[in-house]
Structure 1
Amino acid sequence: MDVEVVGRVLSTLPQDDDHPYRTGPWRPQTTEWRAEDLQVVEGEIPADLDGVYLRNTENPVHPALERYHPFDGDGMVHVVGFRDGKAFYRNRFVRTDGLLAEREAGGPLWAGIAERPAGSPRQDGWGARGRMKDASSTDVVVHAGVALTSFYQCGDLYRLDPLTLETLGKAEWGGAFPHDLGVSAHTKVDPHTGELLFFNYGTTEPYMHYGVVGADDRLSHYVEVPLPGPRLPHDMAFTENYAILNDCPMFWEPELLARGRYAARFHPELPTRLAVVPRRGGPRPIQWFEADPTYVLHWVNAYEEGDEIVLDGFFQGDPEPKDTGEGGAYQRMFRFLALDRMQTRLHRWRLNLVTGRCEEERLTDSITEFGVLNNAYGGRRYRYAYAATGLEGWFLFDGLVRHDLLTGQEERFGLPAGVYGSEPAMAPRTGSTAEDDGYLVTLTTDMNEDRSECLIFDAARVADGPLARLRLPERVSSGTHATWAAGDSIPGWRDAESPAHALRL
């Protein structure tokens, strides 16, 4: 393995930091690496695995003003690329406006998600609340050959070279990007049309917008989606002809919001509302459906079946877990992010466009989240969902599960104690013809050996364990979302003689 340090970002975090979400599996990194021909610890890299796995991470550089929330951490993207049976690795901070400003100031400038807005040294900010640093540390997708990172609450989309991870600036969409409201954490790329679908939300009417960006990277559609008040939607889904948005009854408490406090509360007396929006329509053609009250952090997929739209996501049995008073302030705060406390289970909603009725069913009793699929089946009928399992508080994934949505069967792989995974991505085999003909890729954080690895699984045989384990240069921090981009979707991928040359260093 040929390893080189290519950059470091100066951190002002205390040397003896004891914060529960900046230590252990969440220990941040400050070194940026370039590694070619990664060491194979076990197995063999499949020769027909061709493309890049990209994963975003919350990676704080400075301490919080008062109370650190993991979503405040600065964005760092990791890439593991595969070609011709070899692999390379690189990681880079996303050079956001906030990161650059705080680097110049030598410390924090904005209040975080769990802090008082009035406490910000600077009141200019990005995001739906207009006073937060846009860390661009939540999700990553690839659209029009460029990687785009996004923020937990609405912000800009930062453009990255998917091979070098060089920050290329912000998405502009032909000068039409809605910088005043930004874009939600989760955008969706339709592989069949090359379009990117998105929504945003804010604290003033109409509270939500929906839009479409064409394969030419220009905004082609943008409409209002009226809501009864400020909401906190996180994700969306789409089908061949529709986008599905949501109005879940977990949102900022209106009375507190009027006083400048952003405290989310669950309102079980209200239904979950699901909006079916024609891909190029709205706001009048929007059809709303009412469902059981819950909060859905992540959807898996949706597709059309006769008069119905079938929508799959993770139903929270307890969106606002009871505060038991145990474990200290941070553990109580992050009960909202513990999969076992929230009781997240794979769920299906059937939305009948003719009758206006919504029928629901639980698809599994297992507690899982962060579901992914073969992206070629996005918005189309599909059979397999792959998800993370985790019972140890805030997004510590202890294994993978393959859900067969036709038979109801599950196939699992559990990581050893003290080893945690990342959101997996499904990488179709080159020339694949079946939905599950490909690989699952994930990164691990091994607290026992103080190291990280990239694991590659046969997507059809997850329980058999990894086909290959690759050593990374440094133990990486626990993170959130990841994606897969096939090599032929990346400009210049095949022009280079090798993956190392493809890095364009």
Structure 2
Amino acid sequence: MDAISFHAPFPRLNLSSTPPKATPFAITLPIITNIRLERRPYQTQLTTHSPTNTTDTTALIEATPSPPPHSTEPVNGKQRKEPPPPLENAARTVRQLYKLVPSCLRVMLCNALDDLISNFVEPHPLQSSVNPKDVLAGNYAPIGEMPPTKCTVEGQLPSCLDGAYIRNGPNPQFIPKAAYHLFDGDGMLHAIQISGGQATFCSRFIRTYRFTKEEEAGLPIYPNFFALAGVAGFMRLAVFVVRVLTGQINLVHGVGLANTALAFMNNTIMALWESDFPYAMQLTPDGDVETIGRWDFGGKLRMGMTAHPKVDPVTGEVFAFRYGPISPFLNYFRIGVDGTKQPDIPIFSFQQPSFVHDLAITERYAIFPDMQIVMKPLAMFTGMGPPMGCEARKVPRVGIIPRYATDESEMKWIEVPGFNFVHSVNAWDEKGGEEVVLVAANIVPVEHILERMDLLHCCLEMVRINLREGKVVGRRALSRKNLEWGVINPKFLGRKSRYAFMAILDPMIKVSGIVKLDFDRASGEDCVVATRSFGKRCFAGEPFFVGKEEGGDEDDGYLLTYTHNEGSGESSFMVMDAKSSTLDIVASVRLPQRVPYGFHGLFVCQRDLHKQKNWQ
């Protein structure tokens, strides 16, 4: 047969339809009548058109730019050409090996290595906190998507709830093959849209880049963050690097799960995960949830963003931060009402990469925790331990910086021994800004925060800090109960508030009830003034407060949450009267499918839903 042969210094690749004669070191192609040559940076694309086949065949050939010439300066009176640097030789070798292995074999090789690590290298049995059989048991088990479905309403849904309640949480699309922590699952939104007393429920995955790549692969190809420990973790990370180098994964598109929280910013619903950019979401008029895409605020957001930005209820500004294992370990920034992100303010006085999940704001300041849970990137990359751990000798601090600071010169760090908070409830200024009051749940004992959450006790505390003196001048526990995931009337964020509503953890992250606290009783033993228990084997999630439209008192509104009855297997949407002495249930919605236990939620009123850019 007629053919065109290109001689090359690598094994023969036969693209013809019939077996050609064996020609060493040749690429044999079918007859080509038309060739279009397109030059792009580091790439040449040849598109061939065969007269007997209407299907175009495209071949991509990687072209490596020529290295700069080596030095030819005389050495000892003789002209000598220096050898290329060792790294350049190694890179050239990797590129040559890369060309020898077909893409399908690269994928199969990485998959086989992952299986090898899971079956023979990873220690068995796994710890309960990272064993998929334990972590994904009961109502933690993943579910499939559910399109918008009409629901049965018991009682009457208040008119101020016209809008949508959406809750985020982990829900892996594939059963993990390796160690899996509760924080590692793909993000899924469970949305209930309310209009005129009727309710429509929907569950949808957040279609992150990571989700779509694993969906295409048909199996997990990203290592779970909390599986990166020990020799198995080091090997698993190495396999992931190979996937990146061989083009299976593009890190430019991020590695995020978007599974933690939600915020309404710039007239857009954002799904958040603190080690990646937010994902813009869209709630449609029929109650469906769609993923718009990764959001970087016009290219001004770098690396990631906290899952708990604070939206000022008066100015509409957003205050946020990002943290990581590379100095500066903490960067503070704000986002204007028009959605324009302001420059990062690096906080170099944050001297160690630590876990910073949340912040608090007042009318004058932004407040950050510096807790005893620290990041250990060296341990992770060397396989010597988990990526995070507790540093017992470290004294926790609270950092306070003016909201509109342009640098960290006015940042003040105050030591608060034994005070490790993951989520803040609220904060406000007193005495003309001389003092700051912070309300947050202190985690005790903090060393169990990642591995044994069932042993944690969250003690709600009120801490008073005098900025002029630079010290804590008051500190008091507000309840003996195990309380976390606190919410307030959002109109009082950053302002002095009287009430908070907290989840009773029994254990984390299962919520056995909701309590209401009155801060005016902070001088007594316990500030709890109302309690709602969900009954035997019935658990809920974080509550969310929605105020009545006509205003009224600070606590005049409703508490929203999803509940699950482990006896019957049914899930419900619950509405409670926040002002009543027993947090009475005023309405409930029977959901068409189970809602797994998850993380944080958001209510978006009907007026704001209509502000979405693509609402039709």
Structure-1-length-normalised TM-score: 0.85
Deviation at 1:342, TM superposition (A): 1.9
1:19 aligned counterpart, secondary structure = helix
Give unmatched runs, 5+ long, in structure 1. Answer: 1-16, 323-332, 496-501
2:538 is aligned, of 419, 433, 442, to 419
Does structure 1 residue 161 correspond to structure 2 residue 161? no
Deviation at 1:269, TM superposition (A): 2.7
User: Between Structure 1 and Structure 2, which shows a larger proportion of helix residues?
Assistant: 2
1:57 aligned counterpart, secondary structure = strand
Match of 1:451 in 2: 570
2:362 is aligned, of 236, 239, 244, to 239
Instruction: Give deviations 1:339-377, integer Å, cap 9, x for gaps.
Output: xx2210111111212111113221111111011111111
2:588 is aligned, of 453, 457, 469, to 469
Q: What CA distance in whole angstroms lies between the structure 1 residues aligned with 2:468 and 2:601? A: 36
Match of 2:597 in 1: 478
* Structure 1 letter corresponding to 2:485: F
Match of 1:213 in 2: 335
Deviation at 1:243, TM superposition (A): 0.9
1:381 is aligned, of 496, 502, 512, to 496
Does structure 1 residue 51 correspond to structure 2 residue 51? no
Match of 1:401 in 2: 515
Q: What CA distance in whole angstroms lies between the structure 2 residues aligned with 1:18 and 1:249? A: 27
Q: In structure 2, do the counterparts of structure 1 residues 462 and 263 end up closer, same or farther at CA, with 3 Å as the change threshold?
A: farther
Q: What CA distance in whole angstroms lies between the structure 2 residues aligned with 1:379 and 1:263? A: 33
Deviation at 1:136, TM superposition (A): 0.7
1:430 aligned counterpart, secondary structure = coil
Match of 1:118 in 2: 235
Of structures 1 and 2, the larger Rg is shown by 2
Q: In structure 2, do the counterparts of structure 1 residues 479 and 117 end up closer, same or farther at CA, with 3 Å as the change threshold?
A: farther
1:19 is aligned, of 133, 138, 161, to 133
* Structure 2 letter corresponding to 1:160: M
Superposed CA RMSD in Å reads: 2.5
Deviation at 1:82, TM superposition (A): 2.6
Q: In structure 2, do the counterparts of structure 1 residues 132 and 145 end up closer, same or farther at CA, with 3 Å as the change threshold?
A: closer
* Structure 2 letter corresponding to 1:434: D
Deviation at 1:485, TM superposition (A): 2.3
2:213 aligned counterpart, secondary structure = helix
Q: What CA distance in whole angstroms lies between the structure 1 residues aligned with 2:533 and 2:579? A: 16
Q: In structure 2, do the counterparts of structure 1 residues 449 and 462 end up closer, same or farther at CA, with 3 Å as the change threshold?
A: farther
Does structure 1 residue 297 correspond to structure 2 residue 415? no
Does structure 1 residue 428 correspond to structure 2 residue 547? yes
2:390 is aligned, of 244, 263, 266, to 266
Conservation of the 8 A alpha-carbon contact between 1:49 and 1:82:
yes
2:308 is aligned, of 180, 186, 200, to 186
* Structure 2 letter corresponding to 1:458: D
Deviation at 1:451, TM superposition (A): 1.5
Q: What CA distance in whole angstroms lies between the structure 1 residues aligned with 2:579 and 2:497? A: 14
Q: In structure 2, do the counterparts of structure 1 residues 420 and 462 end up closer, same or farther at CA, with 3 Å as the change threshold?
A: farther
Deviation at 1:462, TM superposition (A): 6.0
* Structure 1 letter corresponding to 2:424: W
Conservation of the 8 A alpha-carbon contact between 1:269 and 1:293:
no
2:216 aligned counterpart, secondary structure = helix
Q: What CA distance in whole angstroms lies between the structure 2 residues aligned with 1:118 and 1:216? A: 45
Deviation at 1:421, TM superposition (A): 0.5
Q: In structure 2, do the counterparts of structure 1 residues 130 and 309 end up closer, same or farther at CA, with 3 Å as the change threshold?
A: farther
Does structure 1 residue 150 correspond to structure 2 residue 272? yes
1:45 aligned counterpart, secondary structure = coil
Does structure 1 residue 251 correspond to structure 2 residue 374? yes
1:105 is aligned, of 214, 217, 220, to 217
Q: In structure 2, do the counterparts of structure 1 residues 434 and 162 end up closer, same or farther at CA, with 3 Å as the change threshold?
A: farther
Conservation of the 8 A alpha-carbon contact between 2:234 and 2:380:
no
Match of 1:320 in 2: 447
* Structure 2 letter corresponding to 1:167: T
Conservation of the 8 A alpha-carbon contact between 2:318 and 2:335:
yes
Does structure 1 residue 30 correspond to structure 2 residue 121? no
Higher relative contact order at CA 8 Å, sep ≥6: structure 1 or structure 2? 1
Does structure 1 residue 347 correspond to structure 2 residue 465? no
Instruction: Give deviations 1:3-52, integer Å, cap 9, x for gaps.
Output: xxxxxxxxxxxxxx97122231112111222023x311x32112333332
2:557 is aligned, of 421, 435, 438, to 438
- Matches for 1:216-231 after TM superposition, within 5 Å: 216-226=338-348, 227-231=350-354
Deviation at 1:319, TM superposition (A): 0.7
Match of 1:330 in 2: none
2:408 aligned counterpart, secondary structure = coil
2:214 aligned counterpart, secondary structure = helix
Q: What CA distance in whole angstroms lies between the structure 2 residues aligned with 1:317 and 1:22? A: 25
Deviation at 1:77, TM superposition (A): 0.7
Q: What CA distance in whole angstroms lies between the structure 2 residues aligned with 1:374 and 1:81? A: 21
How many residues are matched? 459
Conservation of the 8 A alpha-carbon contact between 1:315 and 1:347:
yes
Q: In structure 2, do the counterparts of structure 1 residues 285 and 132 end up closer, same or farther at CA, with 3 Å as the change threshold?
A: same
Q: What CA distance in whole angstroms lies between the structure 2 residues aligned with 1:234 and 1:199? A: 10
* Structure 2 letter corresponding to 1:468: A
Instruction: Give deviations 1:390-449, integer Å, cap 9, x for gaps.
Output: 223x40111111111112233111112222101111011112222111100001122212
Conservation of the 8 A alpha-carbon contact between 2:609 and 2:615:
no
Q: What CA distance in whole angstroms lies between the structure 1 residues aligned with 2:135 and 2:592? A: 22
Conservation of the 8 A alpha-carbon contact between 2:369 and 2:420:
no
Conservation of the 8 A alpha-carbon contact between 1:110 and 1:131:
no
Q: What CA distance in whole angstroms lies between the structure 2 residues aligned with 1:374 and 1:162? A: 24
Deviation at 1:154, TM superposition (A): 1.6
2:275 aligned counterpart, secondary structure = coil
The 10-residue stretch of structure 1 (219-228 or 370-379) with the greater mean CA deviation from structure 2: 219-228
Conservation of the 8 A alpha-carbon contact between 1:111 and 1:131:
no
Structure-2-length-normalised TM-score: 0.71
Q: What CA distance in whole angstroms lies between the structure 2 residues aligned with 1:248 and 1:102? A: 34
Q: What CA distance in whole angstroms lies between the structure 2 residues aligned with 1:386 and 1:64? A: 35
Q: What CA distance in whole angstroms lies between the structure 2 residues aligned with 1:244 and 1:18? A: 36
